[in-house]
Chains A and B, each alone.
Chain A
């Protein structure tokens, strides 16, 4: 079974503070993604990466940075957290190419910004 683990699973942050969400995968997958989900809504892509030391912007990158120091690890960084960034964040990994299409998601990280 593919494994993607996220930490922390839950975090409360103050407005203006720095938040780092970490993701680790043991699938040997090239692609990793960070999605944001707002209550009862869809998944929106923030950043993704298809190779270590390189990241790409997704649909909603503003206010977020990403880091891929190795194939296994992918972090999402909020330098100045804001109230509007309260959401559940999902990390996912996928094998190279479009034909599999199977994203393996982590359990999610619930972020509350006060």
Chain B
């Protein structure tokens, strides 16, 4: 049974860089795509981007200029960096697993609330 455990700073100031990491336990790391998804308070879900174990990444066009997703296969971890954050980036950020690019999310992390405030 795969488990995704995520962590990172929960309070940022405007213009800082958001950084989150997700560790994968109990399952294959190389046979999946690994994604980041966020949910603004009281709002819906927004796909941020994904990466596979080879480092092939895809991003939401609306966030692409500020997003970097990286992978560390030695630790079965992947990470999200979002630069130049504003209050609009305040959200719960989830990591999730997809069997292949373009498919669906069958496992999710617990979520991390990131608040951007001066």
A binds B: no
Residues of B within 8 A of A (CB): none
Residues of A within 8 A of B (CB): none
